[in-house]
Amino acid sequence: MRYDTPSMMRWNARAYDSSFGYVSAHGAPLVELLDPQPGERVVDLGCGTGVLTAEIASRGVHVLGIDRSPAMIDKALTLHPGLEFTVGDGRDFTVAQPCDAVFSNAALHWMGREPDAVIANVREALVPGGRFVAEMGGAGNCAALTAALSTAWREFGLPEPDLPWYFPSPAEYATRLEKGGFTVRLLEYFDRPTPLDQCPDGAADWVRMFAGSLLRQVPGDMVDSLLARVNELAAPALRRETGWMADYVRLRFAAVRR
């Protein structure tokens, strides 16, 4: 089944690692929460360029990285020869053999329009007692960024942007997990202001990387001034003397398949 929508994201795998490597850098505590044991089988869902997949593999684990973006998988295969990666969608992937854990960093909010399909697939991929350990954007994630984006779009007479993300509250996602056949063992919901160190053009760079699909619907000669306006609108909330800071809010959980 394909789920492509007009807003489907095309990832720039090269820029992702050079300018947005903080995404996987923040994933290190999540690997600790996963606590992979030698000999286990793990799926890294929405693995991107495979930085955390490799970290998990270094613990003696057999890990399969799955990502919907062929560009990300190509780069992962180049960066980590010897590791296993495949193109697949979180909403309908299957594995040859059930695994001990499914891990996912900063990816579930991209698959969220069918969150129950993702949870059901993850459950199918796990052995009974298997772990689902993940971090994703939570309710209120990037609120100032997306408010600036929506306002700029409106001011320029563009249709309301169809934001591609799903940022659930802890109560909502825990309920989905429990209904989907998991026992929630841990769930954290926290602010994580994140410096956009490698984004000299601040919020505009963030939009180019993470909301590029929305820009494809904007006339080319309007893009620069539109993004300059996003920066003006976002600056009071997000620009510090030291640089731009994204208003990230995260949901991190560990659940066990019943």
Cβ-proximal residue to ligand SAM, closest one: 48
51 binds ligand SAM (CB under 6 A): yes
DSSP-assigned letter for residue 211: S
Out of 31, 34, 42, 47, point to the residue binding ligand SAM (CB under 6 A): 47
Give the residue with the Cβ less far from ligand SAM, 55 or 229.
55
Instruction: Point out which span in 35-43, 67-75, 188-196, 224-232 binds ligand SAM (CB under 6 A).
Output: 67-75
Q: How far apart are CA 66 and CA 64, in angstroms?
A: 6
Report residue 198 as tokens: 């490698």
Out of 41, 75, 80, 91, point to the residue binding ligand SAM (CB under 6 A): 91
Out of 68, 75, 250, 252, point to the residue binding ligand SAM (CB under 6 A): 68
Angle at which helices 202-210 and 143-155 cross, to 10° = 90
Instruction: Point out which span in 35-43, 65-73, 154-162, 180-188 binds ligand SAM (CB under 6 A).
Output: 65-73
Spatial CB neighbours of 133, under 8 Å, sequence gap ≥ 6: 30, 33, 34, 101, 102, 103, 104, 253, 254, 255
Amino acid at 176: R
Report residue 244 as tokens: 């731009």
Instruction: Point out which span in 20-28, 122-130, 212-220, 236-244 binds ligand SAM (CB under 6 A).
Output: 20-28
CB neighbours of residue 195 within 10 Å: 13
26-45 residues near ligand SAM, rule: CB under 6 A: 27
Smallest distance from ligand SAM to CB 154, Å: 27
90 binds ligand SAM (CB under 6 A): yes
Out of 34, 57, 64, 69, point to the residue binding ligand SAM (CB under 6 A): 69
Smallest distance from ligand SAM to CB 42, Å: 13
Give the residue with the Cβ less far from ligand SAM, 121 or 231.
121
3-class state of residue 164 by DSSP:
coil
CA distances from 216 to 50, 182, 207 (A): 27, 38, 12
> For residue 24, is it left (φ>0), alpha (ψ between -120 and 50) or beta?
alpha
46 binds ligand SAM (CB under 6 A): yes
CB neighbours of residue 121 within 10 Å: 23
Q: How far apart are CA 8 and CA 154, in angstroms?
A: 21
Out of 19, 24, 121, 194, point to the residue binding ligand SAM (CB under 6 A): 24
Binding interface with ligand SAM (CB under 6 A):
11, 23-24, 27, 46-48, 51-52, 67-69, 72, 89-91, 105-107, 110-111
